[in-house]
Amino acid sequence: MTAVPPAPGPPSRRTLLRAGGAGALAAGGLGLSGCVTGAGDGVGPDGRVTIQMWHGQTDTAAKVIKSLVAEFERGHPDIRVDIGGGVLADAMLQKVTAALASGSYPDIAYVFGSDLASVARSPQVVDLTAHVREGPVPWRNYWGPARDAVTVNGRVRAVPALLDCLAVVCNKKLFAEAGLDLPEAGWTWREFTDTARRLTDAGKGRFGTGWPGTGDEDTVWRLWPMVWDLGGDVIAEDGRSIGFADTGARALEVVRDLARDKSVYIDPKPGSEQMYQVFLAGRMGMVMTAPWQLPDIAQARLDYHVVPLPSFSGRPMTISGPDTWTLFDNGEARAKAARTFVTWLIQPAQDSRWDVEAGSLPLSRRSEDRPAWREHAARTPGLPVFTKAVASARVRPVHPAYPRVSRALGQAIVSVLLGRTSPADAVRSCAKESNAALLIPR
């Protein structure tokens, strides 16, 4: 089924979940300008310590960070946080890799969770294990995905910056027109594909659902909940091969069924913006997405319904893609100031404000219980579904070979979406490339 998509609107806060991690690493040696962090140990004549933060945000989220920094500085007059420099989050891996190679890097950077293992290979990344477990960080109160996403080989190498998860958003009007009941928690992937088929109307240019078709991380992360639910994993216990050689083929059968039924809009461009525009234009019945898409959906005045992801087993299962605040060692004075700032930033009072104004889910129950978040959740239809789903969420492994595994699986998914190969053959090709990457000593 083909249709001309509407013109894409302005990029959302996270136009890409993750794009090209392996490619960015490969480009890490490229020279980049603007990597200046300041001279010396950052301590001025008046004893004030200046640290630099590459926050990676744009628009609304950047304004929130600026406001939070101003509030922090008022309460901590001995620390100044410079939020100039850096790049948007999608280009942060390349920027940070080049900065580490040049020896001129920030004190704090916004690093995608899927990139942390690669970045943390640098000895300049601060080990926060003792700090979070013995200091003022509410470590045990964080949701499991938030803790898992910043832990590499048993060591805490960052603090969580953003928390999300996947659920399904449904267009109520299209369900009513198709004579379909809205799905409820506990539904199955078979029901999902059947529903997508029944929502599809080629004559009206209407799709049942959508899937990113570029092979990037946005394409891939939608498949992992299926793999986990079937008992598979990203990497096998031996660490030398993929853990989805069998379950991956079963999961890809869902993708095959959608493609066979011509009920899926395949977004040909990175970022999934066209897929979301099709949904916002009222031409797609269901979309798998994260809570940061809800403001755009509300702005489009769609009457919508949020339901947890389907499963094969009936058990709740979803994926969370937390991002991180990663700290770098520019001397003890600056490292201490950076620890002080991020510790303050992720406390429930500040975290709940960041969640409401910038589009994250609460990092902990304490943040969720804050009045600001509770009021926000009460006035945002469907948001509590995402918050509840975090309790059953898993995260991708924090492993340096993950970008290679993701790239191989992304190619496999696209080949099935386009009808070029079978699920079993696609997984075999994926396994060949991924297993080779996992055998490389790191």
- Residue scoring higher pLDDT (12 or 301): 301
What pLDDT is stored for residue 104 in this prediction?
Answer: 95
What's residue 125's pLDDT?
98
Q: What tens digit of pLDDT does each residue of 345-398 get?
A: 999 999 999 999 988 999 998 999 999 999 999 999 999 999 999 988 999 999
CB 104 within 8 A of CB 311: no
Query: How far is the C-alpha of 54 from the C-alpha of 85, rounded, in Å?
Result: 6
Q: Is the model's pLDDT at 95 over the cut of 60?
A: yes
State which fold the 167-319+401-438 domain adopts. D-Maltodextrin-Binding Protein; domain 2 (3.40.190)
Mean pLDDT score, 400-421: 96
Contacts 24+ apart (CB under 8 A), 328-331: 328/100, 328/105, 328/106, 328/107, 328/108, 328/109, 328/122, 328/124, 328/125, 328/126, 329/123, 329/124, 329/125, 329/126, 330/37, 330/41, 330/42, 330/51, 330/105, 330/107, 331/41, 331/42
- Give the pLDDT score at 22: 36
Encode pLDDT of 134-170 as tens digits. 877 788 889 999 999 999 999 999 999 999 999 999 9
Average pLDDT for 110-139? 91
pLDDT at 5: 37
Confidence of residue 40 (pLDDT cuts 50, 70, 90): low
How would residue 36 be classed by pLDDT, with cut points 50, 70 and 90? very low
Residues, the chain? 442
82 within 8 A of 26, measured Cβ to Cβ: no
User: What residues pair up with 211 in beta bridges, in sequence order?
Assistant: 266
Token digits of residue 221 = 């992360």
Alpha helices in 359-422 (DSSP H): 365-368, 371-378, 383-389, 402-417
Mean pLDDT over all residues of the chain? 90
Q: Mean pLDDT over residues 265-285, rounded? A: 95
| Secondary structure (3-state) at 309 | coil
Helices 371-378 and 348-358, axial angle in degrees (round to 10): 30
Name 160's bridge partners.
324
pLDDT at 11: 36
29 pLDDT more than 60: no
Looking at residue 260, what DSSP letter applies?
Answer: H
Q: Is 60 exceeded by the pLDDT of residue 9?
A: no
Strand 323-327 and strand 304-307: the pairing is unpaired
Could you give the CA distance from residue 9 to residue 277 in angstroms, rounded to a whole number? 7
Convert the pLDDT of each residue in 175-231 to its tens digit.
Answer: 999 999 999 999 999 999 999 999 999 999 999 999 999 999 999 999 999 999 999
Residue 89 parent element (H or E): none
**Is the pLDDT score of 441 beyond 60?**
yes
Question: Which of 28 and 172 is assigned the larger pLDDT?
Answer: 172
Q: Are strands 108-112 and 151-152 parallel, antiparallel or unpaired?
A: unpaired
Q: What fold is seen in the domain 21-163+323-392?
A: D-Maltodextrin-Binding Protein; domain 2 (3.40.190)
Q: Where are the domains of the chain?
A: 21-163+323-392, 167-319+401-438
Q: Rounded to an integer, what distance in angstroms lies between the CA atom of residue 269 and that of residue 3?
A: 15
pLDDT of residue 133: 84
- Mean pLDDT for the stretch of residues 236-241: 94
**What confidence score (pLDDT) does residue 391 get?**
87
